[in-house]
Amino acid sequence: MRSESNETVVVGMSGGVDSSVSAALLLEQGYNVIGLFMKNWEEDDDDECSAAEDLADAQAVCEILDIPLKTVNFSFEYWERVFTGFLRDLECGRTPNPDIICNVEIKFREFPLWAMKLGADYVATGHYARIDHSNGTLNLLKGIDKEKDQTYFLYGLRTEALQRALFPIGFLTKQQVRSKARDLGFENYDKKGSTGICFVGRRNFRSFVSRYLNSTEGSIIDPQGMVIGKHDGAFLYTIGQRTGLGIGGPGDAWYVAGKDVSTNTLFAVQGHDHPLLYSKFAFVSGLNWISQHYELPKPARAKVRYRGEDQVCLICHSAERGHFVEFENPVRAVTPGQSIVFYDEELCLGGAVIDSTGN
């Protein structure tokens, strides 16, 4: 989308290469660009996630582009609307994905409100996704770079939140983005991308969570009911996890197949493709359609994790079960608390949160 009237875009600047190149592309397209650095976490002295370093990188890019950089602190909103729910889900034995809630509550709710105060016509982020306005309907499409596509994290949005959103790098590959940043003289052109949430992705997950939730040792049980090991707290593990179990012995590796936080018990199976790791059904809640509602049952493809393969499925509803998804073929490690996102080829239809599974 090219600006014909010097419209103003506020770009969420994270200090990373993706948002930096997004700002540069918008300038080239004729927009009046303002950068906004969002601080979403109050750091302790020993925190590895340094907002100060990211802010410095964002400032360096804005100086090169000769655009202003504003800052805003959303730490309170993040704690209240994202992090407390993250802890609550963990404690209940689920595996939450707070990045998705952050997009709904912070990046596409609080951020646009602040952007409007700065006179914005649009807001932009460095997500690898595309927005299509053809045929009078707004649609969210996968990014061109299939390895970096981030529509999985955006399924919780609705048309209203995307009407004035721009994703400038959705038509580029990561390699093209880094090359563009290098050509522009951005020192962050080869900066390592963030993995998940900053405050979790750059530190030891268990030691971090232990600041907020108490964990106690429990038993690991095999399918025959035998105790085969000990764990540090059932809520710290996720379905399909291999590392951190500490179970030795002959044969294939052991994987988490289930957990019961009420008894602080993990259930483990031997072998990557053990049948107990696979599910034919996912029972879901919080179904969100992005641009239109669909009649059910609805054939689609589903992604049960960010890096997962699209799975052929049928989205259904019944009075007894509520919303549920039936997979054409059983899917490995479908995890309660994670999101399931639905697609029709490139089109992201929406998604839901996985509550439980079945066969």
pLDDT band at 192 (very low <50, low <70, confident <90, very high): confident
Query: Contact at 8 Å (CB) between 243 and 255?
Result: no
Q: Residue 240: left if φ>0, alpha if ψ -120 to 50, beta else—which one?
A: left
Strand partners, 139: 132
Closest CA to 296 of 308, 304, 307, 284: 284
Question: Which among 49, 62, 102, 348 is annotated as catalytic?
Answer: 102
Provide the pLDDT for residue 47: 54
Q: Distance (Å, rounded) from C-alpha 69 to C-alpha 54?
A: 13
User: pLDDT-based confidence at 201, cuts 50/70/90?
Assistant: very low
Over 70: is that where the pLDDT of 5 sits? no
pLDDT at 51: 79
**For 8-201, CATH number?**
3.40.50.620
Instruction: Tell me the mean pLDDT in the region 51-66.
Output: 94
Q: Is 102 a catalytic residue?
A: yes
Which CATH number is correct for 278-358, 3.40.50.2300, 2.60.120.260, 3.40.30.10, 2.40.30.10?
2.40.30.10
Query: Is the model's pLDDT at 31 over the cut of 80?
Result: yes
DSSP string, 163-196: TTEE-GGGGS-HHHHHHHHHHTT-GGGGPPPP-S
Q: Look at residue 157 in the predicted model and tell me its pLDDT.
A: 97
311 vs 248, more confident: 311
Quote the CA–CA distance of 111 and 275 in Å, as a whole number: 44
**Rounded to the nearest 10 degrees, how much is the dihedral formed by the CA atoms of 279, 283, 286, 287?**
80
- 90 phi-psi bin (left φ>0, alpha ψ -120 to 50, beta other): alpha
Q: Give the pLDDT score at 3.
A: 54
Q: How many CB atoms are located within 10 Å of the residue 309 CB? A: 10
Alpha-carbon Rg for the chain, nearest whole angstrom, is 22
Structure confidence at residue 206 as a pLDDT band (50, 70, 90): confident
Q: Kindly state the tokens that stand for 279.
A: 């599910």
Q: Which two structure tokens, joined as six digits, stand for 208?
A: 């971090």
pLDDT for 199 equals: 47
The per-residue pLDDT for 168 is: 98
279-309 residue pLDDT tens: 999 999 999 999 999 999 999 999 999 999 9
Instruction: Provide CB contacts within 8 A for 2, sequence distance 6+.
Output: 29, 30
Q: Which of 49, 62, 198, 313 is catalytic?
A: 198
> What's the one-letter identity of residue 118?
L
Phi-psi region of 279 (alpha: psi -120 to 50; beta: other; left: phi over 0): beta
3-state DSSP assignment of residue 341 = strand
How far is Cα 335 from Cα 356, in angstroms, rounded to an integer?
A: 8
Residues shown for the chain: 359
pLDDT at 49: 56
How does residue 249 score in pLDDT terms, banded at 50, 70 and 90?
A: confident
pLDDT at 1 over 50: yes
Task: Give me 12's structure tokens.
Answer: 């969420």
Q: What is the mean pLDDT of residues 12-28?
A: 97
Is position 198 annotated as part of the catalytic site? Answer: yes
Lowest average pLDDT, out of 25-39, 117-131, 200-214, 222-236, goes to: 200-214
Predicted confidence at residue 52, as pLDDT, reads 85
Domain pair 8-201 / 278-358, same fold: no
Residue-range domain boundaries for the chain: 8-201, 215-272, 278-358
Show Cβ contacts of residue 228 under 8 Å, excluding neighbours closer than 6 positions.
220, 221, 222, 247, 254, 268
Fold of 215-272: SH3 type barrels. (2.30.30)
Collapsed DSSP state (helix, strand, coil) of residue 47: coil
Token pair recorded at residue 214? 């108490």
Token representation of residue 334: 């479908």
Regarding predicted confidence, which is higher, 205 or 278?
A: 278
Sorted by sequence, the CB contacts under 8 Å of residue 173 that are 6+ apart come out as 144, 145, 148
Mean pLDDT of 332-348: 98
On the question of pLDDT at 39 being above 60, the answer is: yes
Evaluate if residue 27 carries a pLDDT over 70: yes
Does residue 202 have a pLDDT over 80?
no
pLDDT in tens, 104-123: 999 999 999 999 999 999 99
CA-CA distance, 33 to 239, in Å (whole number)? 44
Pairing of strands 278-289, 298-303: unpaired
